[in-house]
Amino acid sequence: MALIKPFTISIPDEKLEQLSQKLANTTFPNELDEAGWDHGAPLADIKRLTKYWRESYDWRKAEAKINELPNYKTQIEVDGFGSIDIHFVHQKSPMEGAIPLLFCHGWPGSFLEVTKILPLLTTPTTPSTPSFHIIAPSLPNFGFSAGIHTRGFALAQHAETCHKLMLRLGYAQYVTQGGDWGCMITRIMSLRYPTHVKAAHINMVRAHRPTPLSNPLLYLQHKLLSPSSSSSNKARAAEERNKWMLQEGSGYRALQSTKPQTLAYSLSDSPVGLLAWIYEKLHDWTDSYPWTDDEILTWVSLYYHSTPGPAASLQIYYEVAHDPHFPRDRTETWIPGVPLGLSHFPKELTVVPKLWGRTMGPVVFQSEKDQGGHFAAWECPEVLVGDLRVMFGRGGGAAGVVEGRDGYGVEVEVGRAKL
């Protein structure tokens, strides 16, 4: 068995010096008079962030903070791809019966997204609050996991990697939480490993209108239910969000799904290009979240300093788009056998009615929020944690799904995860 070793992030000084030189030598583009966010990341914002990145931002401070997390690395054997070096955070709860939960990130996020919910989920606040052991990997091609250098590493391979990591850690049964690619990966995990994945929660709900053939009962409900004025307002807001995403917000996906290598030259060579590419998404995909410059630059730095390089993360878009076996559409349809929880946020990239979500699987928990966007664990961690506590707590739809681990029990001493 491959060893599990503690991991410490330590970016070489020469790489930081090279970054400073690149930032100093940036050539900025022109900008139209009165250009706004509809044109992309504003020039004034990018100039300000570039200056701060070069003169004031303290990567070593951010690095030290991340190193306070229980970081580890191990080798995972993936069919057809050999052994892959995987970085992950493994924070154990002090509660004996804590539920193992895999947190799966997407793009342009990272394992860092889990940090705000870690203390909330691992440490119970009341006797009725369930606790969790949290495992948050860097996906292959992201963060401090290895890069993949051969074709075909798509959803099934990411799902296999995450599943085998959970088995490596001794969790034969576990639950999952995901957004963005993490939603799709954990959905494929539910499809492929239903005896191990005991329940799944997602905060990016991509579903389809029920039809008479696929979901006759839901189809009738959809036709018969007359919306109230408040739900009509929500429906109009959802329609506007979906229209914006289709017409104005989805160009990145077309590029990354078709010609990732061409885009990779710019993102790899230009830290400011990488900053602008990611910063635009942080602005457009959230619900007026007040990003600080330090937050933005830490998120971007995790891509710039990543082990496989800033552009490796684009490959998942191409591979999934060209995979005939597990296309992204499969994650949007019925997957049986695994209890499903759904949290709907109004500024998600695609906003669908709650009823549509029930076409995705056996839904045991569902909530609809008035605020929040694509990065729920970062934007509104207390809200996401609240949903998980309801879903997996006593009386919840997924209570007791993991044998011998109901989220409760006596408190035991833990420091770094015992492996």
Q: Cα–Cα distance between 178 and 102 in angstroms, integer? A: 8
Q: Is 304 a catalytic residue?
A: no
Direct distance between the N- and C-terminal alpha carbons of the chain, in angstroms, rounded to an integer: 13
| Among candidate residues 255, 100, 112, the one with its CA nearest the CA of residue 165 | 100
- In angstroms, the CA 419 to CA 417 distance is 6
Q: Which parts of 223-377 are beta strand (E)? A: 340-344, 363-368
d(CA 27, CA 24): 9
Residue indicated by tokens 């020039």: 43
* Cβ neighbours for 306, distance < 8 A, ≥ 6 positions apart: 142, 143, 144, 312, 313
Cβ-contact 113, 105 below 8 angstroms = yes
Marked catalytic residue, from 374, 387, 406, 408: 374
| Selected catalytic residue, list 85, 180, 284, 387 | 180
- Angle subtended by helix axes 260-269 and 251-258, to nearest 10: 110
Picking from 295, 270, 272, the residue whose alpha carbon sits closest to that of residue 51 is: 272
Q: Cα 199 to chain center, whole Å?
A: 17
Whether 72 sits among the annotated catalytic residues: the reply is: no
Structure tokens at 100: 């193992």
> The tokens 């029990």 sit on which residue?
409
Cis bond leading into 100, ω under 30°?
no
Task: Reduce the DSSP state of residue 281 to 3 states and report it.
Answer: helix
- How far is Cα 29 from Cα 46, in angstroms, rounded to an integer? 11
Torsions phi, psi for 214 (to 5 deg): -85, -40
Neighbours of 150 (CB within 10 A): 8
Type of residue numbered 140: P
* Identified catalytic residue from 52, 219, 252, 318: 318
**Known catalytic membership, residue 269:** no
Using DSSP's 3-state secondary structure scheme, residue 39 falls into helix
Question: Residue 273 in 3-state DSSP?
Answer: helix
Matching residue, tokens 């860097």: 138
**CB–CB of 162/181 below 8 Å?**
no
Counting Cα atoms < 13 Å in the Cβ hemisphere of 251 gives 11
Report, as residue numbers or ranges, the catalytic residues. 180, 318, 374
